[in-house]
A and B are shown apart, each in its own frame.
Chain A
Amino acid sequence: MKRVSWFIVTVILLLSLCGCGGELERPALEDMAMIGVMGFDYVDREKINVTVSVPVPARNKETTQVYSTNASMTSEAMLNLATKADRTMSLSQLRVILFSEEYARKVGIGKVILDLYRNPIVGENVYIAVVQGKAKDVIKGTYNHRPEINTYLNSLLRPRVETAFSSFATIHDFVFMMTSNTMDPNLPYLIHVNGEIQIFKAALFRVDRMIGFYSQREGKMVQGFLGRERLPRMSFEFQHVTKTGKKQTERVVFDFVRAKTKVRSEGSLKKPVIHIDLRVRGMLVGYSGSKDLEKRAQFRTLVQELEKRIKKESMEMLLRFQKQGVDPAQLEESIRQKYHGKWTRETGLALYKKAKFNVKVHVDIVGFGTLK
């Protein structure tokens, strides 16, 4: 009797395993349309136009499918798109999100970003950028001698030293910048000309709305203040008048090996003073001028000129930002560290506007190539 009952139990268990058969027949990789790039364009205040691009696996030749729809939410757009595609749409391989400038300025990108941030399928390392014109055109565009659009955009927006003048914001970074209460977010700003995409400027945001730009050169210094250690190269131009009265231009291209910034605030909360101590170490990769760099005195002068120039430029930039009431360099953080009580963005901005800056620059040139 006991044996029979065990046998029956085993048979029932084995039969119930057949229910798992369905699980084994799930759609696999090739049945899914992996969205690589999503673009959001402005239609009206309620509606957005969502464009997605899906790479199609094939031997030898890479192709891309592009789908587009109008909807009021990302998830709703996904529903619409799913009925258009021949495979199951999946956001699991999403790499890049593009916003048109119009949408970023008029509506704000927070709603879309948070919708994607909520979705556990979407990864954190998805790059966000703002494009001039329409995101749809960028995704649908054809680019000469480039890999297909998903790979192209992903590798373009991947952080590199050369393009490190904007924060390469992933979804997490953007949500962090948006909610940190100490800074204004910035994103790379792309333009689309002559069959090429270029990271042109850095777009500046107030919470989630785009409010303006700043240039590459300013962006480099902002990144330095934000604490990035490897900064892109910068070129400097010095005008000299030689003893003979001839005007001479000295050009220096400076390659940052390592930048280190300390930002701290001082003084009462009524009159905060922000000390910025920028220590950079680098190489001269390009130099055209008359100085003999092996001579200690002349070398010293060059260093001092560089220090003075960086200080001047950054002071000018900071004062301009302060006047506009924007803080992409997260200088408020230094005030927050000493602030007791409830911290909000308003307190931060008010204190920031009152603050005085004190920039110290220290340049250390470790090499100037093999030519003296």
Chain B
Amino acid sequence: MDRGRIHSLNPILVIGLIMNTMVGVNLLGLAHHASKMGYNLWWSPILLGCIVSLTLFPMMALCRRYPEDNLFRIHEKLLGKWLGRCFNILIIVYAILNVSTANEGYIRLVQTSMLSNQTATLPLLGLTLTMVYITNGGIKLIARFCLLTFFFTGWMVFLLQYGFQKGGFTHIFPLFNTDWRSIAETVHNSYASMLGYELVLFFYPYIQEKNKAHKHVLIGIWIVVLLYVMILITSVAYFSEWQMDNLIYPILNLFKAVELSFLERIENLGIGLWVFLILSTSTGYLWVARTGLEEMAEKTRLWHLLLPTIISFLFIVGPLSVEKQRYIYDKVTVYIAYGLILWPIFLLLLHSLRFGRGERVS
């Protein structure tokens, strides 16, 4: 629908978009990734939130200087056409990798927990088709879908009470029984669960209230942090340190703790509903890949959408072995993400060298 540069994202949609691109497949294993900190891991999201908020400043500063351009165009303007396009291709690759990361992680979980004797192809095909359909609707549809996802999956927070009641709240003590080394490792391991906010570099041109955009993005980020803290406190209460270290999907086990009289094993429902969270993440990245291709080709075609989709699909079901895939998802993607998050600082420097310090309206 809304093609072209229409300012279609109102504040609520911005908050929803930020929240749901952040929450995704990595939340499933958050307690596991952060387990280096032992029982202290519950406050690690606050630390992550602070880092995210800090790295957001250069991003927003860059966006304010180019209010009508996404990162692809900024590249071409600042670095010149040739060099800019090289970086654009890298970003497109990063976006496609992120789509694959989200889809692969989720499909593997579905395969192990819900569809135990089935190949991954059919579930993945369904997921991919739905993803394409949503992305084809443009950023506004993605944002609306994110908002709906928030309402549709948000109630699951109430299921945490089952785990919380069974466990012991006192596990969070002593509060700071950890060392810098494990904190650093935890931050590195669980930073992937905060990724998604860098998409603001790409959808900033569509935001309606640009002067308040920074605040809205921050609200989204800290709601996510709050959510993570709630989930991790429940994990701390419910699990022993050994369990957090050894369970790959602690969320799955938290779902299993729910006991309802009319329905058992609610994790089937919960993991099924998780597809909303996965879709809201992967569509965001797929949209970035599509926008990148469009900017490079300077026109809108359907294959700009289909090409990244097919690549990400083949990446998962193709000949690449699972270990290599995991290496790429867990290491390569995250390192590119670090680069992308710090990249605006460099771009800002370049901007100030080329155009002076003032804010420029292009």
Check if A20 sits within 8 Å of B122, measured CB to CB: yes
Taken together as a complex, chains A and B put the C-alpha atoms of A227 and B169 apart, in Å, by: 11
A328-367 near B? 1/0 per residue, CB < 8 Å: 0000010001111100000000000000000000000000
Taken together as a complex, chains A and B put the C-alpha atoms of A333 and B172 apart, in Å, by: 11
Contacts from A to B (Cβ < 8 Å): 20, 23, 92, 120-121, 123-125, 172-173, 175-176, 179-181, 227, 333, 337-341
Taken together as a complex, chains A and B put the C-alpha atoms of A44 and B243 apart, in Å, by: 30
Cβ-based interface call for B256 (8 A) = yes
Residues of B within 8 A of A340 (CB): 174, 177
Check if B174 sits within 8 Å of A338, measured CB to CB: yes
The dominant DSSP class at the A interface is loop
Check if B256 sits within 8 Å of A176, measured CB to CB: no
Cβ-based interface call for B321 (8 A) = no
Residues of A within 8 A of B242 (CB): 179-181
Other than A175-B243, A338-B173, give 7 A-B pairs with Cβ distance below 8 A.
A172-B257, A176-B239, A176-B240, A179-B241, A181-B240, A181-B242, A337-B170
Q: Mind listing 25 A-B residue pairs with CB under 8 Å? A: A20-B122, A92-B265, A120-B112, A120-B113, A120-B252, A123-B256, A123-B265, A125-B259, A172-B253, A172-B256, A173-B166, A175-B240, A175-B243, A176-B238, A179-B240, A179-B243, A180-B241, A181-B240, A181-B241, A333-B170, A337-B170, A338-B174, A339-B177, A340-B177, A341-B177
Residues of A within 8 A of B300 (CB): none
**A321 CB to nearest B CB, Å:** 19
Check if A339 sits within 8 Å of B174, measured CB to CB: yes
Interface size for chain B: under 10, 10 to 19, 20 to 34, or 35 or more residues? Answer: 20 to 34
Taken together as a complex, chains A and B put the C-alpha atoms of A340 and B257 apart, in Å, by: 30
What residue in chain B is nearest A227 (Cβ atoms)?
A: B168
Please provide the 10 A-B residue pairs with the shortest distance between their CB atoms, ordered closest to farther.
A179-B242, A124-B256, A337-B173, A180-B240, A120-B113, A179-B240, A176-B240, A340-B177, A120-B112, A123-B265
Taken together as a complex, chains A and B put the C-alpha atoms of A180 and B259 apart, in Å, by: 23
**B120 CB to nearest A CB, Å:** 13
Q: A338-B173, A341-B177 are in contact. Are A121 and B240 (CB under 8 A)?
A: no
Residues of B within 8 A of A125 (CB): 256, 259, 264
**A108 CB to nearest B CB, Å:** 16
Cβ-based interface call for B153 (8 A) = no
Q: A124-B257, A172-B253 are in contact. Are A23 and B174 (CB under 8 A)?
A: no
**A298 CB to nearest B CB, Å:** 39
